[in-house]
A and B are shown apart, each in its own frame.
Chain A
Amino acid sequence: MKSSGPGPREKGKDLLQIRNLHVEGFSDERWHPIVHGVDLTLKRGQVLGLIGESGAGKSTIGLAAMGYAKPGCRITQGSVLFDGIDLLAVSEKGRRRLRGSRIAYVAQSAAASFNPAHRLLEQTVETAVAHGLAGREEANRSAVDLYRRLQLPEPETIGFRYPHQVSGGQLQRAMTAMAMACRPDLIIFDEPTTALDVTTQVEVLASIRNIVEEFSTAAIYVTHDLAVVAQMADRIMVLRHGRTVEEADTRQMLASPSQEYTKTLWAVRKLAKPEVPADDYLLTIDNVTAAYAGKVKVLQDVSIKVPRGRTVAVVGESGSGKSTLARVVTGLLPPISGSISFAGQLLPTSLKTRPKEVLRRIQMIYQMPDNALNPRQTVEEVIARPLEFYLGLKGARRDRRIGELMHMVEMSEDFLERLPGELSGGQKQRVCIARALAADPELIICDEITSALDQIVQEEILKLLIRLQRELGMSYIFITHDIATVRAIADEIVVMHRGKVVEQGLKSEVLTPPHAAYTERLLSSVPEMNPDWLTRLLASRKI
């Protein structure tokens, strides 16, 4: 963050020096390197952004900065000098004394990283009390103070709640408070906002930035999201496969990345499909209202039209009911009221009552390919089943078809006898797509299918989908929370909020102002590559 006056501790001296760090991970009965010889230097009060795709080793390095290796990992070489102490050389006890007190950690999923059995306050003050840095009373008081600084609601009492009683954004801030409790010199932020909705993310980012600035704490900020790191970091280090690609000052890095790889990372953002107006409609959802047994309505009087051969992107944050919409269409959740008609005829509401033929014509692809593929079935079995089940293909004809499908999703046939466990995330998703295509459907519902993937892979998948639509002319309902993805693939957009449709129409109409209030907020919350974006946004929202 831009040099905002001298903090309590003097700035500029080296705080952390990592030299020639090697880390290995254990899997498939043997050790193999994750990080090969990374060097890193961090000055007091400085914020360093570690960025890279999954498997780049950014989190591992973050943890190594605390002299810690995850279960199943080990640091094999190198030194981690923290304020002159080599964390790899000192005893476990010695490291323990530093952790929490002088080096703190903020984990990705606060929900999972808070102990569900204890109240927030206990956990916030635990380190301070355990390390004997403060008495309970004092610790509690300073905790409440931190809650206030982090703009947590009811700072006096929120500490007495249990983790599950607090929202995700608040938890993430509470965890920051916990990290700050001992006023550490260094905090490791490990993807602290990845699990949050964009609108929440903004607030959390803001409060984190303020507090770090206030105590001018040094920080390592690990993330895969360039736009985010651009807001938080003074310097950025790009990592790939456990090696440093390049490191530079934030602005310079954004302006002129020197490495090819970095450029490709930057490039992803630019993919955009020209929209095509609808001619006729395949699926019509009329005033559908749905609810899970006895609970509040998750869909209220929703009406959506899906044109044939086009893509309707359903955008919304968690709890907006977009996934429920998918369940209603597939028949997993029969609506309370309203009707759905498919290709002219009324669609039986519940799955059981739908004829095989209808089931075949509507297919679905999920967010987590790992969960969507049976780990005990080979790719071939996965793709073959719909062919046999729907089309009754056998023997040679089936095999030929399987070949074609693999070709369509750009995978070689030697993947056929593999199990999902042996495929990368992108490949798994391709198999899921192939499985959907096998039924040769007219409508495919894609539920957040790219959000679990790295950006480069995301792009490949999106391109694939676009191509397939061009060739086979099926319609997509594309459920996502990511505006970039929407830009990339949508013809029409439906914006949902709290189970209602806020706005819908052609992509160009929805994305260009004037927007509905919520859409405005949503769009404005999407981080931009500009380092000053957050500052400006906050100013404009005057938080």
Chain B
Amino acid sequence: MDDILLQILNGLDKGGAYALIALGLTIIFGTLGVVNFAHGALFMLGAFCAVAVKSLLGFEKVVLDPTKLTAWGTPVEIRTPYIEAWFGDFGTQMLNFSVPVSIIIAIPVMLLVGIIMERGLIRHFYKRPHAEQILVTFGLAIVLQEIVKSQFGANPIPQPAPEIAKGMVDFGAMIGLQAGGVVYPAWRLIYFLFSLLVIGAVFSFLQFTTFGMVVRAGMADRETVGLLGIDIDRRFTIVFGIAAVVAGLAGVMYTPILSPDYHMGMDFLVLSFVVVVVGGMGSLPGAVVAGFLLGIVQSFASMNEVKAIIPGIDQIIIYLIAVVILLVRPRGLMGRKGVMEQ
């Protein structure tokens, strides 16, 4: 029982990440009709916002100690982050909270990245065939990740969660089960809540603002909205920016779970497409539902009891589910007819 509850938590946590990435991707599909293979790269850029913030915060004052030598004969460097040198404990706290702090930085940065990307490149590909959209965004993804690699190297870079969120939370006790049975890392619970928050924010933005209404109308029927004299293109630029922010935030918050490296975007790319398609092209609720569904199913498939029956099921479960769903429901869980079927 405890094991099952734990796997549900794992699934929700994983699903939160899947849903956030897929949400941005499907917004771009739905509104702009663009197949964005650079979406994984946006997730990766978000994660590297955290890396950059941490290294900026941790910018070190280097003092050479001539009395001690390194193994290769140069004086030992004594490094203290400036921020600690200047602000003392507050500085240490800032470093400790670098991941949450990164969120504040990542929002404007990712928005800007998204806007530049849309204005500079994606815009010119609205009317182009999907194959060309794939090629150009894939090219962009490679370029972005190579730039990151040349700056930060290929190795994963650890991004610890703040000390306060490093511990475990006795989730079982909170919901009235026996204490100690279901304990779960605080940061992962935070990630799950955070993903709900972002999903909620995106939905209410689209649901309750006039801007959102226009965008939703644009998703449903772009030409008509254009005929109404609304400058839909400009709004779509913002929409792309928002999608980039959502992907970026997913990336920032994920860094304590997965040490970021330049290649992580590609690893999530295929998965996020599967999530979006299982959810149904252009359906925002579909993307969210599919994200959590696949997360939970993947968690359960990894249980020893399940693997004992079908060896290797955890390797293929995501794809198996995708195939089954697409065969049973032609347009995914909540897809609309005619979107991306050509």
> Are A and B genuine complex partners?
no
